[in-house]
Amino acid sequence: MSQDAEGRTVAELAALFGGRAVKGGDAVVRRVSSIEAAGAGDLAFVEDEKLFGAAGACRASCVIVPEGAAGKLEGFGGAVVEAARPKLAFALAAEVLHPPRRMEGHVHPTAAVAEGAQLGEGVYVGAGASVGEGARLGSGTQVHSNCVVGRGVNVGRDCVLRPNVVLYEGVTLGDRVVLHAGVVVGADGFGYVRDAEGVYHKFPQVGAVVIEDDVEVGANSCIDRGALGTTRVGRGSKIDNLVQVGHNVQIGPHCILVGQTGLAGSCRLGTGVVLGGQTAVRDHVRIGDGAMAAARSAIAEDVDPNTIVSGMPALPHRQSLREQAALRRLPDVVVQLRKLQERVEELENAKR
């Protein structure tokens, strides 16, 4: 991330995210920082009232606080901005103060760009990268060191492919897609058919992958090509590190997939689905719009829209919590059952 050396005034930033500069609107901030590490020229934020004391004692030039909370920063001498959602305001300010570094258009001498490839204006291709025959890179796109862009791949405008990204043929990226180091898109899906002798034969993996606009994929994640159709990641979705997306999966817009999540083939996620870390989704499962899964959920059945599930197997969250609570009581229940069994035996022996 680069730093904007000139900075911005507090008033300018407040106008950007719809906040209100309570005091110090003319102060200039150049960086974002945590409350604990902030110093002169830094912008910090606080949402939790428990941290207001620490925020009041910090040395930041400006602190963003919830609406109506400016008076609670006792002892703070810097600028104060009130915002409905301080964390969101902080993130929007960070986009201005720390814009992504843009590489000037250039093809490194060690890069291998096929004669039939099409590079838009201002495209950067780093050392050791390979761009295949018929590939198309939109204007402003950055292909960093040792990336492989396969034959016929289409990459939109202002995309960023970090080092060692691999795009197999048949992959299409929209605009402003960010793929972090080691991402592999378009590898064969895991599909095999077993014959009578127990030998596995590969099912055709000849489909495509489409990643829509404004998607970001974390390091070392894999998105497999469709077997016969298309694997799709909807616009604005964010995928963490070490996530596996199987063949023919359909991920709707604005979904969140947290690290080590795995989606088996042909499952479908609606709009705004959130899957916690290490969630596993069985093949052909449908997850409705706005549904959420707690970390380490194992989803084997369809999930209704706007439902929260958890557990292994995943159940509605409240039901899962009740079952977990009952399970924790199980040792005591076993002891009680043994005592009752012994008492029943005593009573039966007394009758004989």
Catalytic residues: 247
* Per-residue CA distances from 259 to 107, 214, 275, 331 (Å): 33, 19, 9, 34
Place of tokens 């902080």: 90
Distance between CA 163 and CA 180 in Å, rounded? 7
Residues in the chain: 352
Distance between CA 302 and CA 348 in Å, rounded? 50
**Tokens of residue 12, six digits:** 């300018």
Distance between CA 121 and CA 134 in Å, rounded? 17
Closest by Cα among 277, 281, 280, 282 to 294: 277
Distance between CA 189 and CA 116 in Å, rounded? 28
**Tokens of residue 351, six digits:** 């009758």
